[in-house]
Copies of this chain bind each other. A is one copy, B any other.
Amino acid sequence: MVTGLLEGTWKGGDRLTEAEAVERFGVSRTPVREALLELAGLGLVELRRNCGAVFAPFGPQEVKDLYAVRTLLEVEAARLAATRLDRDWLFQSLAAFERMREQNAADAGWREDRKLHAAIADASGNRRLAAEIGRYGDIVQLMREIVGARTLGDIHSTTVNEHLAILHAIQRREPEAAAAAMRNHLEQAAESASLAAEARRRKISG
């Protein structure tokens, strides 16, 4: 439902009333309203009363802004995780990482990627920080739906190496190295996502 609302080639500022969504999806207004409220909470639509929900713009600039915030959160989490190193945690994370490396299937790879990021977030010891990181995981996943998952389908071998660098820095109890590794990882991801958003922009306007 939530992801369905975002499908299609809407442009920033496009309006969608509840009645239109009802007609398009064949469900009643109640779940439509709840889905719109959820999207509004994630910052992807703006609810204006009696005017319909307006989609937020979602081009390269918005992707960059999104990743800038996500980077703030996750870099801090990596720094904290390296500071409060937990050996049991590290052992399990390395095992999960090996499983991820073996799975080249795109979907499974992304699932393991999210698990790793979530594990680092939990290891920060700040539950709200971890919750926000999870929320941004949701937003990024919706973004993949928006800009087209195909473009971002594969976990590259470089991505695997970036993950390994983060875990090793945490293992060595080097907070700044862990932060830098996480920053680098997310900058790569931001670059890739921004390019995909640019491609989508051209496809829509052309």
Give chain A's interface residues, CB within 8 Å of chain B: 30, 33-34, 37-38, 41-43, 62, 65-66, 68-69, 72-73, 76, 126-129, 131-132
Contacts A33-B34, A69-B126 given; 9 further ones with Cβ under 8 A?
A38-B41, A41-B42, A43-B128, A62-B127, A62-B128, A65-B127, A65-B129, A69-B128, A69-B129
A65 to B66, CA, bound (A): 22
Chain B, residue nearest A132 (CB): B69
A34–B132 alpha-carbon span in the complex (Å): 21
On chain B, the residues within 8 Å of A131 by CB distance are: 43
A131 to B42, CA, bound (A): 10
Chain A contact residues: over half helix, strand or loop, or mixed? helix
Whole-angstrom distance between the alpha carbons of A132 and B38 in the complex? 15
Distance in angstroms between the alpha carbons of A30 and B34 in the assembled complex = 10
CB distance from A162 to the nearest CB of B (A): 22
Question: Which of chain B's residues has its CB closest to A126's CB?
Answer: B65
From A134, which residue of chain B is reached at the shortest CB distance? B43
A-B contacts, 5 of them at CB < 8 A, read: A34-B34, A38-B41, A65-B126, A68-B129, A72-B72
Q: Can you name the residue of chain B whose Cβ is closest to the Cβ of A128?
A: B65
Q: Report yes or no: A73 in contact with B69, Cβ–Cβ below 8 A.
A: yes
Residue of B nearest to A63 (CB): B128
